[in-house]
Amino acid sequence: MKEIELKTTITAYQLEELTEAERHLVELAIEATSRSYAPYSRFHVGAALLLDNGVEIIGCNQENAAFPAGLCAERSAIFAAGAQYPNVPVKMIAIAARTPGGQLQATPVSPCGTCRQVLIETETRFRQPVRILLYGSECVYAVDSIKSLMPLSFTEFQ
């Protein structure tokens, strides 16, 4: 038997410690939470992307009474970027959420497994990491690649 230890590094920042570009992206993600359609969970999630060409794209979760028909904020932003700028890599993504009571989430929320898989595909496709900023009103978690959140990932190119 062989034991394999996997480690990850997540840096916790205060919002004011982020770069201006990072803070701006987080603010866009926070704003995007207000555009979310979440009548069932009342958990409003917003995402904002920064593409390599400087373009910013937002996304928000969209729920549906037929639950599998909904879409997470992260994927709505990534798929919108792919439709509008198919050959431009994603440089960074910021994610924020509001609780069912409407308050910004105190602790950072991380992408679901499906969104993590889409982020892995994005990094693999463009052969560059995507910086991820997970906003919480108490702190912002930053990781330099989705591989930090999903170290045993599945890609076509393995």
**What is the rounded (10 degree) CA torsion for 131, 122, 73, 108?**
-30
- Within 8 A by CB and 6+ apart from 139, the residues are 12, 13, 14, 107, 108
pLDDT in the model for residue 30? 98
Which residues, given as ranges, of the chain have pLDDT below 70?
156-158
Say what the pTM is: 0.94
pLDDT in the model for residue 157? 57
Give the integer Cα–Cα distance in Å for 76 and 127.
21
What are the residue numbers of the active site?
74
